[in-house]
Amino acid sequence: MMLEVPGAAMLEAVTLTKRYEDGVLALDHVSFAVKPGQIFAMLGANGAGKTTAINLFLNFIEPTDGEARIDGIVTHKEPLLAKQRVAYVSENVMLYPNFTAVQNLDYFARLGGKTGYTKDDYRSVLLRVGLSEDAHNKRLKGFSKGMRQKCGIAIAILKDAPAILLDEPTSGLDPKAGFEFQQLLDSLRTEGKAILMSTHDIFRAKEVADIIAIMNNGRIVMQEPASRLLGQDLERLYMQYMAGHTAAEAVA
Ligand SMILES: Nc1ncnc2c1ncn2[C@@H]1O[C@H](COP(=O)(O)OP(=O)(O)OP(=O)(O)O)[C@@H](O)[C@H]1O
Ligand SMILES: [Mg+2]
């Protein structure tokens, strides 16, 4: 577990705010930073604003106020430059159902300008994300949610971007796959990736993340290095923050 990582932020939210057209304030002046070699986990209720934050980094939506930066690049000002530096796995990975796993990897790698990958590269990255070999040349349409998620993660790894965004990456994974995914995140951190993820898995967040943020109603109500939460019952803390307690009340 890393304590202090020197250097500049790779992912940065600066008073990031989003009010949707219908008036919903989904994100309310949220600020945080993720450095290379760090994993930042966002916990929070349904509707807390986690996906909104991730979508702002991807420039899928524009901020109402503040900005999201990737490697210092403001995503809504230079979206193409910013996109080159980030890989993304959505909650419901959408790939080509009639392509095999390997064909999907090849297609998306080429789309991202990576033409040098070989069959062996695809095989090893699929094994790295835990997709068994008998599935590599099967069509995606027969895959379970977790198998599709593994393919999405493999595509993100092949992009080899310095920043990785993961929206509920473990939601479709069985316990063994969830454990393996934790080890995969560890190895990506060691490679120096900056990882921003949303999750509902309090237990795994505490195991794998360097910084844990709890979000509620578009705000970060708690942001702490995981090392400072080691002896604490994070589930209990979470429940207290969700009930609207302040930081002082929650740790008392
Ligand atoms: N396209 C949209 N138009 C209007 N409101 C939206 C839109 N997308 C999200 N919202 C609203 O913004 C708020 C935050 O939603 P968001 O999807 O960011 O939450 P979340 O933390 O990812 O939740 P979950 O844990 O369920 O995935 C919610 O109130 C939601 O209804
Ligand atoms: Mg979400």
Indicate which CATH number applies to the domain containing 202.
3.40.50.300
DSSP assignment of 121-144, as one string? HHHHHHHHTT--GGGTTSBGGG--
Q: Which two tokens stand for residue 33?
A: 């930073």
Residue span of the structural domain in which 204 resides: 7-85+164-252
Answer whether 192 contacts ligand 1 (Cβ < 6 A).
no
State whether 101 and 203 are in the same domain: no
**Entry pTM:** 0.93
State whether 228 and 178 are in the same domain: yes
Q: Which of 107, 137, 160 is the last residue of a domain?
A: 160
- Ordered per-residue pLDDT tens for the chain, 252 residues: 444 556 799 999 999 999 999 999 999 999 999 999 999 999 999 999 999 999 999 999 999 999 999 999 999 999 999 999 999 998 887 899 999 999 999 999 999 889 999 999 999 999 999 999 999 999 999 999 889 999 999 999 999 999 999 999 988 888 888 888 999 999 999 999 999 999 999 989 999 999 999 999 999 999 999 999 887 888 999 999 888 876 656 655
State whether 184 and 227 are in the same domain: yes
Q: Is 2 contained in some domain?
A: no
State whether 70 and 172 are in the same domain: yes
Q: Is 218 contained in some domain?
A: yes
Q: Whose CA is nearest to atom 6 of ligand 1?
A: 20
Minimum-distance ligand 1 atom for the alpha carbon of 44: 21
Q: Is 1 contained in some domain?
A: no
Answer whether 51 contacts ligand 1 (Cβ < 6 A).
yes
DSSP assignment of 167-199, as one string? ESTTTT--HHHHHHHHHHHHHHHHTT-EEEEE-
Answer whether 59 contacts ligand 1 (Cβ < 6 A).
no
Q: Whose CA is nearest to atom 27 of ligand 1?
A: 46
Answer whether 130 contacts ligand 1 (Cβ < 6 A).
no
Q: Which two tokens stand for residue 1?
A: 């577990």
